[in-house]
Amino acid sequence: MYNDPIAHSFTTLGIVGTGAMGRGIAQLAAQAGLKVMLFDVKEGAVAEAKAFIQGLWQRSADKQRMTQVQAEQYGERLVEARDLTALAPCDIVVEAIIEKLDAKQELFGDLESIVRQDAVLATNTSSLSVTAIAAACQHPERVIGFHFFNPVPLMKIVEVIPGLRTDHSVTQRVDALGSAMGHFTAQATDTPGFLVNHAGRAFGTEALRILSESVADPATIDRIMVDQGGFRMGPFTLLDLTGLDVSHAVMESVYHQYYEEPRFRPSPLTRQRLSAGLLGRKTGEGFYRYVEGQQQMPEERPRQATPGCPVWVSREDPDSAAQLAELVEAAGWPLESGQQPSPEALCLLTPLGEDTTQCALRQGLNAEQCVAVDMLAGLAKRRSLMASPLTRESFIEAAASLLNADGTPVSTLQDSNGFVLQRVVACIVNVGADIAQQGVAAPATIDRAVELGLGYPFGPLRMGDHYGASRILTILHNLLDATGDPRYRPSPWLRRRAALGMSLTNGPTG
């Protein structure tokens, strides 16, 4: 596994800070064949870390996931450094200490007087500028970001972030080391949030904005993003899992580091809940309540079957119209085929980025009859509908009954530009496109890093290709026109490639 000649230039790796991150890095480094020297200012912390890591290896050996000989060999590679000066033989030192700039600068200043001049100093910072950390060093060319994710052994990605003065050979060697440790290495520029945390800004912030507009409750939004969008968990489940004490701080940090860029704007909802101590799972209540650690998800109310009424489907999007017409016929409801609906017909609309109100008025339809259906992801595992403020209740119930006729769950939303899925997906794609536009990382790296680091069903650029760049652009344009909020302004990367019919992953030209 550890055969790359560039990576072999590192034989001894030092770690300062033996908490969860330091332990995980030490485990991977030892498994990759390096001698690992561990230092922590806390008395007994290194011994505790060694025992923890060796315990993991022993359990793996007991389960025959590795041999007993391997477990013992790995354990022999862990060595305690009694003081900082003991790290002198290290080829590379990785700090995993408190996330404070002055503390990291002071540590690297001390290490410079201890290690060889050609030794690399790596920071595991998740939010601080690598360039700023290196600025306090006499040799900033050997300082680099080496950002792992928790839990380190399971999250198969590490960000490699050179500062503005980092030597290119240092970047190459550290990249090779990350690969030798079994992780995908995502090279990114030294920008706020680096790559993964930067790309993750849209998922939670747009969901919070949807909640703040009373479009839907947290459970409905989460169900839509999981069932319709294919995400591993919904945004509010994720916020509760991470804890608002962590999530809100990251939201504010990235927002302010980008000088109040509207795309990253946090929500007052999380600040209010943070003040109330509703942090999530760790406090027993966040956006959900937790009983013995179990999330209390409200049940969906059963749908009442409604007698089939005539249904008229807008033909603005032929593919969506065909899918809905097939659904109507399968349910055995009468399908109208005229250019205009009869006064008794339920009118189904398929807007992109519009609300039901505007879509109905633009098509010259009676808003009392109109219900909009989100067709961005088709009609597979969940269906979302919304009505105008004027839509008759009988038509809303009819639409819900029709969409639920084959047993597929249905979510009913308040009238909104872009439903839930359209808004969140469009914002994710747009942020990813702007990351590509800024040259933070190569398009393929952006997608793979997000899939591994955030667990999205697709990376943001592949997500745009999956749903169609022109459709994403339409959603954003309509959101921007309706709200005037610059958070929805399309990235040039997205705008140009949609206009040219190109894949969003096609680069590197801007």
| Tokens encoding 491 | 């990235």
Cα angle, residue 194 at apex, residues 188 and 195 outer, rounded to 5°: 70
Beta-bridged to residue 220, according to DSSP, are none
Q: Is the peptide bond before 409 cis (omega within 30 degrees of 0)?
A: no
Catalytic residue among 95, 124, 126, 198, which? Answer: 126
| 126 given a catalytic annotation | yes
DSSP H/E element including 483 = helix 469-483
Tell me the C-alpha distance between 436 and 425, whole Å. 17
Q: How far, in Å, CA of 453 to CA of 445, rounded?
A: 11
User: What φ, ψ does residue 363 adopt, rounded to 5°?
Assistant: -90, 5
The amino acid sitting at 431 is: V
Question: Choosing from 124, 129, 159, 198, which is the catalytic residue?
Answer: 159
Q: Where are the alpha helices (DSSP H) in 404-467?
A: 421-438, 443-454, 460-467
Determine whether 384 is an active site residue: no
Tokens 């996931």: give the residue: 65
Kindly name the residue from 197, 267, 320, 416 that is annotated as catalytic: 197
Q: Which is catalytic among the residues 95, 124, 129, 147?
A: 147
CA distance to 99, 240, 358, 507, per residue, from 450 (Å) = 23, 20, 35, 18
Q: How far apart are the first and last CA of the chain?
A: 37
Active site residue 478: no
Q: What is the C-alpha to C-alpha distance for residues 348 and 356, in angstroms, rounded to an integer?
A: 10
CB 437 within 8 A of CB 461: no
The secondary element (H helix, E strand) that includes residue 147 is strand 143-148
Give CA angle at 210 (207, 212), nearest 5°. Answer: 110
Catalytically annotated residues: 126, 147, 159, 197
